[in-house]
Structure 1
Amino acid sequence: MGRAEARRGSRRGARRAAKPGGIRRFFTLRRLLGTFFGLCLLAMGGLLVLYWLVPVPSANAQAEMQSNVYKYSDGTILTRTGKINREIVGLEKIPKDVQRTFVAAENKSFYQDSGVDIKGTTRGLINTLSGKGKQGGSTITQQYVKNYYLNQDQTVTRKLKELVISLKVDRKKSKSEILAGYINTSYYGRGAYGIQAAAQAYYGIDASALNVSQGAYLAALLQAPSQYDWAAATATGKKLVTERWNYVLDNMVKQKWLDSTTRSGLKFPVPHAPKAAPGMEGQAGYLVEAANDELARQGVDKAEIAKGGWTITLNIDEKRQKELVQSVDKQLESKLDRKNNKTDATVQAGATSVDPKTGRVVALYGGTGATEHWISNATRTDYQPASTFKPVVLASALENGAETQDGRKIGVNTRYDGTSKRPVEGSDTPFAPENEDNRDYGPVSVQTAMNKSINSVFAQMVVDVGPPEVKKTALDLGMRDKGFPERPAITLGTMNASTWDMAGVYATLDNHGRKITPTIVKSAEHKDRTVELPDPVGKQVISRETADTVTGVLQGVVDNGSGFEANTSAYDAAGKTGTSENNKSAWFAGYTPQLTTVVALFGESTKEGGGQVTLTGTANSGRANGGGFPARIWAGYTLDALNGGSDATFDLNIPAPVRETPSTPAAPSTPEETPSTDPSPSAPPEPTPSDSTPSPPPSEPPVESSPSTEPGGGGPSSPGNSESPALPPGAGNPNDGSAPVRP
């Protein structure tokens, strides 16, 4: 009996050991399968309920675009935009192979599917719930439903509605109707809704005339209209849209909609340059585009703006805007013969004017008119700012406490060797820039070097400070990191910049070193949202003493140097001229205590494709330079903008702004700084220090070096020059005849 009970007990223990524990008993295969199928049935039931409860709505309000209203700063209307730039065209008017480019781009199974992509929609729902952003993988039907019946909100509710309505639309409408609706409601960029508007905007033809290559580009655009617009795309954007274009055509070959031989012969169809829409004539188009660009930088997509319903108030002062246009017309346009003179026909003017205390862009000149020349000359960044960059070099020297190669601290009265083609010393990159007219100046002060824009002096100063440090100062002041090498040649302003960029830099100097970011939008409101705009006045990026010292030096440029055309007794002014290599651009950047304005001329070829050309011969005036037309435009505008003048003076935090007295009462020397083979009058001799000024130690005899083999290129050199008695940076020497104090 005892053995039998033991055997039974052993069997009971074995059975207990074979049974799973608490959690293992719960997660059996049968239970898991039951739960899964239960959830599937529940989801299917939910979808059925949604299918019966969610109707196909009428077209959404955003499908019918509204006007946008743009206003001047005082509330008066500048212009209205947003007339629906869309013409619905039937699918029969669109070539069959062009229709198929959209299917190949977005939804290859479009002709066979039921209107939804469950996998893609599920992925989109998960991304939305997890905060990972936009949904991907929608069918053409779903995108059409989103465009026409719903909105762009990224919410679970909207995505579920999209799924249900897409199923219903697919049952009620033919594939041709859905495809036509999708092609006609999508946004293609450039304010174009629908394929007809897009064909006109990008190729200047009707949709019926599009070929398969052009259709593939328009289909590729829908993925990222702003990024993929060839006219505005970065190098990365161009690469991506080209890859997308190839993807579309390759898919068409795979679907047997395009012959592989035909495909191999297709070339990328570069679209035309953008043109302004009607109602954007004159400066209005430039102002609107600048405002839209600024809002885009603040996260308001241009597609959202194009749908309309916005009231956008600009910082533009209507009076000053008109005065800027009038000054360009009077000082430049009235002297040009654009029809009969090939050089005059290439001249493009641009300007940006900023309130240095607030950062508001109060006036902007984009060109002769947005409907004639759509690219804004105020914001374009494809030209070099030339010697308007030299004050940035000086600011960096002062801010970094830099020293010359022989250990002298750089200040306003520090003397450098101004010999033309003098190789810089202390640099691994050879550089020996030529002064204008290849003129040798010998030992000169920094003030004189700025007045006369002496290339050899500032090339050495860049090396003394260090190109990386100079670049950092430039970026701190507001220049963009675009085409900005860390080499001595940057002293000639060889990076790219716009008048907008340089207005920010000079406004920051004007504002005693506190960062100014030019801002054109005062407010932007829509019934669904109000845009929060950042403060255009930022932090202190260079010390007040540095900024004010540079201002003092630049007052000398206007009083006694290359910027004398901007000099009147009606206001206190500081500024700098600039002319790029071969006179392709000419600049004047100047400011008063109340207004900072940068004016530039650009030589732009009138041939197809454009390109940069020389301004030499503009209005039959010989060599163009920043001290000519740009300085005169600046002076005429500033005088009017300040109501005939101003008693305001610069509040400079330095012992005494430096001024150099001309040795003769004649006008200053030829103002420019870049090499040229054109003849020009020679400049007056360097002012001789007074007898009471100690003579500087002898400098090394200037040795003329051969120019660099690279245009504007070159290499290292040392100052080999002397300086007047030591002074704190920015301080004037009352005993130095070259530095009288301004009252």
Structure 2
Amino acid sequence: MGRTERQEKKGGRIRRLFTWKKLLGTFFVGCLLLMGAFYVIYLMVPVPTANAQATMQSNVYKYANGKILARTGEINREIVGLEKIPRDVQDAFVAAENKTFYKDNGVDIKGTARGALNTVTGKGKQGGSTITQQYVKNYYLDQDQTVTRKLKEMVIALKVDQRMAKSEILAGYINTSYYGRSAYGIQAAAQSYYGVDASKLNVAQGAYLASLLQAPNQYDWTAASATGRKLVEERWNYTLDNMVEEGWLDPAKRAGLTFPVPQKPKAAPGMEGQRGYLVEAANQELMRQGLREEDIRAGGWTITLNIDEKKQNALVAAVERQLEAKLDRKGDEKDATVQAGATSVDPKTGKVLALYGGIGATEHWTSNATRRDYQPASTFKPIVLASALENDAKTQDGRRIGLGTIYDGTSRRPVEGSDVPFAPENEDDRRYGPVTVQKATNSSINSVYAQMIVDVGPGNVKKTALDLGMKDGPDFGESPAMSLGTMGASTWDMAAVYATLDNHGVKVTPTIVKSAQHKDRRADLVKPIGAQVISRETADTVTKAMTGVVRSGSGFRAAGDYHAAGKTGTSENNRSAWFVGYTPELVTAVGLFGEDVKGNQVTLTDTINEGRANGGRTPAQIWGDYTTRALGGGSDARFDLETDGSAVTEPDAPAPTGTTTGSPDPTTPAAPTGSPDPTPPPTPTTTTPPQPTGTITIPPLPTETMDPTEPTGPPVDPPVGGEGERDDRRRAVQ
């Protein structure tokens, strides 16, 4: 038999085996089997009772001592009948989610099959379910994306569609959906986003709320990224266009509609004062650890915070005494722009012991303790010093950088060795001439730290900053201007950095949650104490440098009956003022921020005091007031320091002829009652001027001495600008 004959015989057998009649019969049999299987499933799957989220519980938040701080999570929902929801708002929800809602039988076979396939193949969550299916998912099932759950959803949706009227299903869907901002149901959403009852919503607002359901957190206009805003506006337009297409909205009216920007979020009732800030900080920390927002909102959690009730009250009282009592928020527009924030941490455990988020969570929802939109200014300079020490950096002429290293403190001095030009102005354009790094730290001399960051390398400094606990961002550039703290940071971030320095270079991650327990599980929490990120010698040397800031530098108002180290900071245009400092037992970052009623950054000048509101004034006074009371009036604890040997207190080189050394300001207020006399101790009589080149030789001096160029009396506050933090970025090529 030839090859051709064999092929024809084989082909004939295949054709006889797979005739069109057999294939069609197999298809019908398969369909009947599937239909039979689905019918069996239909009979076996009952309509269940409401799920846990539909009957949400409250959450209980406690202080570290077990006392209840707040109760939240009572479902923020008020069920409203469909008759109270404007018809065009009802139509907006149908247009956004399911145009065939009034015609279908409750399921979308194609959408469900597509969703199941995407789940199996790992392509993520699937839209396309009908309103009935989404109602079933919200009320009867859970949010898990599994094939089994999708199948149950379809079966139950068919039964619900047979038993309930379309109006009941639509009302259930609108009232059970989650809209973000802790709002469940359209009534709570209308109040949260537009401050009106659901009955007062217009079609534009209704279309936004309907569009929001696709991604409540991503599409919340006030918190959304540029991409999120673009996406929700596109979906809003899609919803309205569908309404026109279905004949539910007049085209002329549609053409006149503009996007209805929602109001800023406000805390739920019961979150007045600091409670709202503390609860939100705890929730955010739990979500960073992997707990879903819907899990928290569903309730049933007992969340114990690390907050020490006595220290929390002491921090609030310190802000009240040193700031709020001096402001007229209702009668003075400038006073009303002053915002305060603070974070206090135990450096040995990482526990957040106290937090101040603002005047009250129901009045100013954004927490000033955790916001990162203001510059930390000169509180960043110790990080530059830490990086110099850690990297064994040298000056341009080859001298190793330490606290005794001499730099040129001339104001507006162009930095050397940088491809990016930079010549920052010192405070009040003050000319210092040759100064030690210790003196430059005490007086926050910009020209010295601008040159130092060039000597170390901005990239190295940024790495050190991130290692210590700062957060990266688009404004965290690598240039000489970074030495002046031009990136964004929160009091929480800066407390983390300084706690790591206080903890001898061992990483401290501030944690506000002590424990979070549910009836059937326990949340995993971050370990607050990590690895050694910089050497102990480096951390302790930086601590030694900052003791001079409090003892005889710009932070003298923070001094008290305790040993302390710290740094002041005042940002460009006086928009923020900081004092971040620590004792051996306690680290606290305090910030003042200028913010108008529209949320724009404004200057603090001529607000809390005449002239600039620098970090060495009110922030340092708040810090000192709080620290004194938090430590029970004071402390004998001392820093246990292992420095690099450059930390011996020493005088600065004599200023050259004509250099301004400053004089006491007769208008400078006296140090707070109970604080040590800020007048520096007598100047040693023996000094050795710096050598022109090579190693600087300075003889040993008695401890706790001042630089001879330091003016007697408290440091002078210049009338304008920061501590020279006018970074003059106009001169820099960014």
TM-score by length of 1: 0.86
For 2:631 and 2:13, the matched residues in 1 are separated by: 86
Query: Is the partner of 2:589 in helix, strand or coil?
Result: strand
Amino acid at match of 1:629: T
Give the corresponding residue for 1:364.
355
1:15-34 to 2 correspondences below 5 Å: 18-19=9-10
Give the corresponding residue for 2:673.
none
RMSD after superposition: 3.2
CA deviations on 1:469-508 (whole Å, 9 max, x unpaired) are 2222212222112221222211221111111111111111
Give the corresponding residue for 2:115.
124
2:646 is aligned with 1:651: no
Give the corresponding residue for 2:674.
none
2:277 is aligned with 1:258: no
For 1:495 and 1:242, the matched residues in 2 are separated by: 30
Give the corresponding residue for 1:702.
none
Shift, 1:148, TM fit: 1.0
**Which sits farther off after the overlay, 291-300 or 625-634?**
291-300
Query: Is the partner of 1:444 in helix, strand or coil?
Result: strand
For 1:125 and 1:132, the matched residues in 2 are separated by: 10
Alignment check: 8 A CA contact 2:342 2:591 kept? yes
Give the corresponding residue for 2:44.
53
Amino acid at match of 1:212: V
Query: Is the partner of 1:491 in helix, strand or coil?
Result: helix
Choose the corresponding residue for 1:595, options 583, 586, 598: 586
Give the corresponding residue for 1:696.
691
Give the corresponding residue for 1:642.
631
Shift, 1:97, TM fit: 2.2
2:332 is aligned with 1:337: no
Question: What are structure 1's unaligned runs of at least 5 residues?
Answer: 1-9, 673-678, 699-721, 726-732
2:423 is aligned with 1:432: yes
CA deviations on 1:651-681 (whole Å, 9 max, x unpaired) are 2222553445799xxxx98999xxxxxx989
Amino acid at match of 1:98: V
2:696 is aligned with 1:724: yes
Amino acid at match of 1:441: Y
For 2:346 and 2:19, the matched residues in 1 are separated by: 74
2:613 is aligned with 1:624: yes
2:516 is aligned with 1:520: no
Shift, 1:174, TM fit: 2.2
Alignment check: 8 A CA contact 2:341 2:356 kept? yes
Alignment check: 8 A CA contact 2:649 2:705 kept? yes
Shift, 1:647, TM fit: 2.5
Query: Is the partner of 2:493 in helix, strand or coil?
Result: helix
**Which sits farther off after the overlay, 541-550 or 451-460?**
541-550
Query: Is the partner of 2:302 in helix, strand or coil?
Result: strand
Shift, 1:128, TM fit: 3.6
Shift, 1:537, TM fit: 1.7
1:231-630 to 2 correspondences below 5 Å: 231-482=222-473, 483-568=475-560, 570-605=561-596, 607=597, 609-630=598-619
2:89 is aligned with 1:98: yes
Amino acid at match of 2:602: V
Give the corresponding residue for 2:102.
111
Shift, 1:365, TM fit: 0.5
Alignment check: 8 A CA contact 1:575 1:590 kept? yes
Structure 1 residues 481 and 502: alpha-carbon distance in aligned structure 2, compared to 1, 3 A threshold: same
Question: What are structure 2's unaligned runs of at least 5 residues?
Answer: 654-660, 670-677, 707-734
Alignment check: 8 A CA contact 2:377 2:485 kept? yes
Alignment check: 8 A CA contact 2:650 2:701 kept? no
For 1:208 and 1:292, the matched residues in 2 are separated by: 32
Give the corresponding residue for 1:728.
none
For 2:181 and 2:431, the matched residues in 1 are separated by: 52
Shift, 1:466, TM fit: 2.0
**Which sits farther off after the overlay, 19-28 or 518-527?**
19-28
Structure 1 residues 29 and 413: alpha-carbon distance in aligned structure 2, compared to 1, 3 A threshold: farther
Alignment check: 8 A CA contact 2:439 2:652 kept? no
For 1:528 and 1:433, the matched residues in 2 are separated by: 58
Alignment check: 8 A CA contact 2:555 2:616 kept? yes
For 1:438 and 1:75, the matched residues in 2 are separated by: 53
Shift, 1:427, TM fit: 2.2
CA deviations on 1:248-269 (whole Å, 9 max, x unpaired) are 2333333343344433433222
**Which sits farther off after the overlay, 488-497 or 260-269?**
260-269
For 2:562 and 2:680, the matched residues in 1 are separated by: 28
Amino acid at match of 1:724: I
Structure 1 residues 13 and 249: alpha-carbon distance in aligned structure 2, compared to 1, 3 A threshold: closer
Alignment check: 8 A CA contact 1:689 1:738 kept? no
For 1:220 and 1:524, the matched residues in 2 are separated by: 33
Query: Is the partner of 2:334 in helix, strand or coil?
Result: helix
For 1:424 and 1:687, the matched residues in 2 are separated by: 34
Alignment check: 8 A CA contact 1:385 1:587 kept? yes
For 1:636 and 1:190, the matched residues in 2 are separated by: 36
Amino acid at match of 2:323: L
Structure 1 residues 56 and 626: alpha-carbon distance in aligned structure 2, compared to 1, 3 A threshold: same
For 1:351 and 1:670, the matched residues in 2 are separated by: 32
For 1:75 and 1:558, the matched residues in 2 are separated by: 36
Amino acid at match of 1:287: L
Alignment check: 8 A CA contact 2:684 2:705 kept? no
Alignment check: 8 A CA contact 1:191 1:303 kept? no
For 1:662 and 1:276, the matched residues in 2 are separated by: 53
**Which sits farther off after the overlay, 396-405 or 447-456?**
396-405
Choose the corresponding residue for 1:735, options 697, 700, 720: 700
Shift, 1:17, TM fit: 6.3
Amino acid at match of 2:633: G
Structure 1 residues 206 and 17: alpha-carbon distance in aligned structure 2, compared to 1, 3 A threshold: same
Query: Is the partner of 2:217 in helix, strand or coil?
Result: helix
For 2:309 and 2:512, the matched residues in 1 are separated by: 13
Structure 1 residues 40 and 601: alpha-carbon distance in aligned structure 2, compared to 1, 3 A threshold: same
Give the corresponding residue for 1:181.
172
Structure 1 residues 448 and 106: alpha-carbon distance in aligned structure 2, compared to 1, 3 A threshold: same
Alignment check: 8 A CA contact 2:404 2:650 kept? no
Choose the corresponding residue for 1:230, options 202, 221, 224: 221
Query: Is the partner of 1:228 in helix, strand or coil?
Result: coil
For 2:449 and 2:664, the matched residues in 1 are separated by: 15
2:61 is aligned with 1:70: yes
For 1:559 and 1:24, the matched residues in 2 are separated by: 99
For 1:26 and 1:539, the matched residues in 2 are separated by: 71
Amino acid at match of 1:644: G
Shift, 1:135, TM fit: 3.8
2:210 is aligned with 1:219: yes
Structure 1 residues 547 and 669: alpha-carbon distance in aligned structure 2, compared to 1, 3 A threshold: farther
Amino acid at match of 1:565: R
Alignment check: 8 A CA contact 1:625 1:671 kept? no
Give the share of equivalent positions with the same residue, in percent.
70
Shift, 1:533, TM fit: 1.2
CA deviations on 1:44-98 (whole Å, 9 max, x unpaired) are 1121112222222232232122111001112221111122211111222222222
Query: Is the partner of 2:567 in helix, strand or coil?
Result: strand
